[in-house]
């Protein structure tokens, strides 16, 4: 009932707006009808601080560092729907830890990926969870958390095309991108 | 010259009684009322475009059907003709039985407004005859990846396929655009700065601002029904958790604290007191409900495969993606009694449902052989109509309520 009442109110507002724009003889854009469709009641917080493209600083400046060739470091692979780092994958993480220990000016972005199954949004979280799991292994090996950033692409950037398990198993991965 | 006159409106006597009975009928058997359009006349230009739009929108699946004059429940009468740059439109809807007039309006609009007018009148007729709001004038947001392009952006269109517009220029990974209740703002996740950040974008006047760009993942933005808060999934404390950010004060509160689970896709209950979201606690993702002030998690999906992408509709029902026999399907769940049913066909993967304003139809993505399209479904599983397909991948729709 409330919903219907709200809708009636909106139709009323809509009619008023139609008449209003008629009086002002508004030109351009999508016209009076379209304008009125987006003039619903209710707001959403403060918009005074809206900015067109300028964005605040984030992530400790790692985005301003330069990518280092990281092809020597193999991705860590995962089982389906899993974010546990298998013990057989630990040696890959250890190579990265050793490198970070001998190159104090470097940091690392852990890029998490999933296979294509599941929702795109859930896969962002799953890939993030995988990157965070590798991060925990790196921290346990003595790397400072502030030198590690996680970046999950979910299923958006598969390493291998295809919809079978051989492709899936290569796509469930965390890649290392060293920065300096 | 874009003058619009609403010259006369029919009497609304008996409409509420009529509407009440129609809700029950249409909930039991949709598309059970039919129109005869043969009494409507047009010119060959803008008037014909108006009529085509009206007819298309009224006869969307599980709205109304078309029938010959002898058997149609309602007759659509009137005309649409251009005259000196303006289009004069008269629309009446009459009962077949007693010939009683249910709807009657007259308009004068510019030629480039006839499509919009057809959507508005379709919605008015739908609400007058069924008691349910129409959705013809409600835009659908979605993610698009044009053929040959690597990047993605947010687009919008009307359900009849008209008015398609590209709303962002990120050309990057873009996810989950969702309308805010004001209908002038939407929230989405974009990688255009390299990392997943959550943005609010306003249509008029155009502008965008960052909602969340903390370390790690920022995703899952969903604005509360009162427009004051936004639900988010953030990993800044070391694991993905559900947060609520107050849009006025900027204060961010963590609602969940769970070891070892990926979370995504929060959606607010109609009264704004609870949030449903996805959590993969033991590997398989399920739906959980939590109060906006935190507290105990309540798991609301059992058995089956993965459960993803919930949308808690204004009708109180939760539509979501559920794995069924090797495919993704759209299911509708009553969170109060656990009743659940599938509403999508088994011919492809259907994902990411979004309720329409009538609480009866849904938009969803349909994927087959790597190609994604936007489809219209209904909660009785009768409708499955393509709204947009081809020339790219189109997915993750959000229907304006």
B20 touches chain A (CB under 8 A): no
CB contact under 8 A, B314 and A33: no
Residues of chain A in contact with residue B17, where contact means CB-CB under 8 angstroms, are none
CB distance B219–A45 less than 8 Å? no
Q: What is the mean pLDDT of residues B292-307?
A: 88
Mean pLDDT of A35-63: 38
3-state secondary structure of B364: strand
Q: Contacts of residue B241 in chain A, CB cutoff 8 Å?
A: none
* Helix/strand/coil for B237: coil
Of A43-52, B85-94, B253-262, minimum mean pLDDT range: A43-52
> Is the model's pLDDT at B172 over the cut of 90?
yes
Spell out the residues 6+ positions from residue B111 whose beta carbon is closer than 8 angstroms to its own.
B45, B46, B82, B85, B86, B87
CA–CA distance, B318 with B331 (Å, rounded to integer): 8
* Contact present, B242 and B266 (Cβ < 8 Å): yes
More confident residue, A28 or B205: B205
Share above pLDDT 70 across residues of chain B, in percent, rounded to a whole number: 91
Provide, rounded to the nearest whole percent, the portion of chain A with pLDDT above 70: 67
* Contact: A42, B182; criterion CB under 8 Å: yes
pLDDT band for position B225 (cuts 50, 70, 90): very high
Reply yes or no: is the peptide bond before residue B205 cis, omega within 30 of 0: yes
The pLDDT score that the predictor gives to residue B34 is 95
Q: Chain A residue with minimal CA distance to B209?
A: A50
pLDDT given for residue A82 in this prediction: 84
Alpha-carbon separation of residue B280 from B235, B261, B368 (angstroms): 15, 5, 25
- Whether residue A128 and residue B228 make contact (CB cut-off 8 A), yes or no, is no
Inter-chain contacts counted by CB atoms under 8 A, chains A and B: 204
Residues of A in contact with B183 (CB under 8 A): 37-38, 40
- Give the residue from A19, A24, A44 with the most B CB atoms within 10 Å of its CB, the best one to mutate: A44
At B237, the pLDDT band (50, 70, 90 cuts) reads confident
Shortest CA gap B227–chain A (Å): 5
Which B positions 158-217 lie with beta carbon below 8 A of chain A? 163, 173, 175-176, 180-185, 189, 191, 193-197, 200, 202-204, 207-210, 213-217
The pLDDT, as a whole number, for residue B239 is 83
Which of residues A20 and B59 earns the better pLDDT score?
Answer: B59
Note the ipTM here.
0.89
Measured CA to CA, the distance from residue B15 to residue B137 in angstroms comes to 22
Whether residue B233 lies within 8 A of chain A, CB to CB, comes out as: yes
Residue A146: the pLDDT is: 86
Quick check: B39 pLDDT over 60?
yes
Under an 8 A CB cutoff, do B228 and A46 touch? Answer: no
> To the nearest whole number, what is the mean pLDDT of chain A?
74
What angle separates helix B114-130 from helix A2-24, to the nearest 10 degrees?
150
Residue A98 pLDDT > 50, yes or no? yes
What pLDDT is recorded for position B282? Answer: 61
- pLDDT recorded at residue A124: 97
pLDDT top residue among B171 and B259: B171
What is the distance in angstroms between the CA of the first residue and the CA of the last residue of chain B? 31
Is the predicted pLDDT of residue A39 greater than 50, yes or no?
no
Closest Cβ–Cβ partner in A53, A81, A132 for B283:
A81
pLDDT-above-90 percentage for chain A: 57
CATH class of the structural domain A59-179: alpha beta
Asked if A31 lies within 8 A of B113 by C-beta distance, the reply is yes
Question: Which is more confidently placed, A74 or B302?
Answer: A74
pLDDT given for residue A75 in this prediction: 98
Mean pLDDT, range A61-82, rounded to an integer? 91
Residue of chain A minimizing CA distance to B132: A4
Mean per-residue pLDDT of chain B:
90
Local confidence band at B13 (pLDDT 50, 70, 90 cut-offs): very low
The reply to whether B345 touches chain A by the CB within 8 Å rule is no
Of B27 and A171, which is predicted with more confidence? A171
Give the pLDDT mean for B231-260.
90
pLDDT of residue A63: 78
As a whole number of angstroms, the distance between CA B299 and CA B301 comes to: 6
When CB atoms are compared, the residue of B1, B240, B284 closest to A128 is B240
Strand pairing partners for B146?
B392
Which residues in chain B are contacts of A125 at CB distance < 8 A?
217, 219-220, 233, 240, 262-264, 278, 280
What pLDDT sits at residue A130? Answer: 94
Kindly tell me the burial class for residue B389, based on how many C-beta atoms sit within 10 Å of its own C-beta (0-12, 13-18, 19 or more).
Answer: middle
Judge: A19–B4 Cβ closer than 8 Å, yes or no: yes
As a whole number, mean pLDDT of residues A72-88 equals 92
State pLDDT tens for residues B356-374: 999 999 999 999 998 999 9
Residue-range domains of chain B with CATH: 15-130 (3.40.50.10070), 140-399 (2.120.10.30)
Name residue B374's beta-bridge partners: B365, B388
- Selected for mutation to probe chain A from B215, B327, B357 (highest A CB count within 10 Å) is B215
Contact B265 A63 (CB under 8 A): no
Report pLDDT for B87: 97
**Partners of residue A92 on adjacent β-strands:** none
Would you call B113 an interface residue with chain A, using a CB distance cutoff of 8 Å?
Answer: yes
Asked if residue B53 has pLDDT above 50, the reply is yes
Predicted confidence at residue A58, as pLDDT, reads 58
Query: Nearest CB to A47: which of B189, B202, B283?
Result: B202
Domain boundaries, chain A: 2-37, 59-179
Query: What is the band of B295 on the pLDDT scale with cuts at 50, 70, 90?
Result: confident
Q: Does B247 touch chain A (CB under 8 A)?
A: yes
Tell me, what's the pLDDT at A1? 40
């Amino acid at each position: 009932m409330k919903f219907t009442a709200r809708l009636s109110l909106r139709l009323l507002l809509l009619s008023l707006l139609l008449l209003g724009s008629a009086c002002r003889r508004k030109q351009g854009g999508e016209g009076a009808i379209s304008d009125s469709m987006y003039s619903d009641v209710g707001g959403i917080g403060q918009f005074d601080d809206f900015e067109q493209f300028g964005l605040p600083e984030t992530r400790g400046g790692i985005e301003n560092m330069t990518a280092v060739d990281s092809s020597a470091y193999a991705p860590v692979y995962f089982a389906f729907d899993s974010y546990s780092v298998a013990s057989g994958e630990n040696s890959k993480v250890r190579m990265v830890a050793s490198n970070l220990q001998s190159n104090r000016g470097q940091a690392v972005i852990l890029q998490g990926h999933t296979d294509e199954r599941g929702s795109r949004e859930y896969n962002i979280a799953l890939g993030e969870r995988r990157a965070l799991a590798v991060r925990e292994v790196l921290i346990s090996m003595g790397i400072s958390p502030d030198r590690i950033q996680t970046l999950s692409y979910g299923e958006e950037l598969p390493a291998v095309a295809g919809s079978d398990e051989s492709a899936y198993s290569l796509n469930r991965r965390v890649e290392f991108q060293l920065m300096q | 010259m874009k003058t619009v006159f609403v010259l006369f409106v029919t009497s609304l006597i008996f409409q509420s009684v009529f509407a009440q009975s129609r809700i029950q009928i249409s909930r039991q058997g949709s598309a059970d009322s039919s129109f005869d359009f043969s009494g409507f006349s047009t010119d060959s230009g803008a008037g014909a475009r108006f009529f085509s739009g009206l007819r298309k929108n009224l006869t969307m699946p599980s709205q109304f059907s078309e029938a010959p004059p002898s058997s149609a429940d309602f007759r659509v009468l009137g005309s649409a003709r251009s005259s000196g740059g303006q289009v004069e439109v008269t629309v009446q809807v009459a009962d077949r039985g007693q010939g009683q007039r249910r709807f009657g309006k007259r308009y004068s609009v510019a030629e480039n407004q006839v499509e919009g007018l057809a959507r508005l009148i379709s919605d008015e007729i739908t609400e007058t005859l069924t008691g349910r709001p129409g959705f013809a004038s409600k835009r659908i947001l979605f993610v698009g990846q044009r053929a040959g392009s690597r990047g993605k952006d947010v687009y919008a269109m009307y359900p009849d396929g008209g008015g398609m517009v590209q709303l962002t220029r990120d050309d990057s990974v873009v996810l989950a655009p969702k309308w805010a209740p004001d209908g002038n703002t939407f929230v989405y996740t974009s990688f255009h700065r390299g990392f997943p950040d959550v943005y609010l974008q306003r249509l008029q006047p155009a502008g965008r601002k960052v909602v969340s760009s903390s370390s790690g993942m920022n995703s899952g933005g969903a604005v509360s029904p009162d427009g004051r808060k936004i639900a988010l999934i953030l990993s800044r404390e070391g694991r993905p958790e559900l947060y609520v950010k107050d849009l006025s004060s900027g204060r961010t509160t963590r609602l969940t604290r769970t070891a070892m689970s990926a979370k995504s896709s929060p959606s607010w209950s109609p009264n704004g007191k609870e949030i449903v979201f996805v959590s993969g606690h033991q590997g398989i993702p399920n739906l959980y409900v939590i109060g906006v002030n935190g507290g105990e998690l309540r798991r609301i999906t059992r058995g089956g495969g993965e459960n993803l992408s919930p949308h808690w509709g204004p009708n109180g029902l939760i539509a979501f993606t559920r794995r069924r026999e090797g495919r993704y399907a759209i299911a509708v769940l009553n969170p109060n009694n656990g009743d659940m049913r599938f509403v999508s066909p088994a011919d492809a993967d259907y994902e990411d449902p979004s309720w329409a304003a009538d609480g009866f139809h849904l938009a969803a993505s349909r994927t087959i052989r790597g190609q994604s399209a936007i489809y219209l479904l209904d909660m009785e599983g009768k409708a499955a109509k393509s709204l947009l397909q081809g020339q790219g991948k189109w997915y993750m729709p959000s229907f304006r309520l």
